Amino acid sequence: MGKWYVTMKKADFDGWARKFNISPVVARILRNRDLTVEEEVGKFLRGTLEDCYSPWLLKDMDRAVEQVLAGSDRKRTCPFRMERTKPHQRRSFS
């Protein structure tokens, strides 16, 4: 398994944490996602649906919609097989 590397990008993490009522860890993650301006952070955290990209930009979204609609015709709400597990059977990714 490959190693993960986190780049150290500079920002006022404690200041962002206080201003946006988030933890400094979340502030660091946002900065590592190349959010550098406070307006971008606010839009990311408290944006509206109009601020989101169109889901139609995702690859094969038209096929996914067709599958969902076809499944609803057959009284099947999800076109994907969902694994059912009890809480104690869930996998840990640590």
> Domains of the chain: which residue ranges?
1-47, 50-81
* Separation in Å, CA 22 to CA 11, 28, 30, 46: 15, 10, 11, 12
* pLDDT digits 0-9 by tens, 37-58: 888 888 989 989 888 889 999 9
**pLDDT score for 72:** 66
pLDDT at 90 over 80: no
According to DSSP, residue 5 is labeled -
pLDDT at 91 over 70: no
Task: Please state the rounded mean pLDDT for residues 53-75.
Answer: 84
pLDDT band at 22 (very low <50, low <70, confident <90, very high): very high
**pLDDT score for 82:** 54
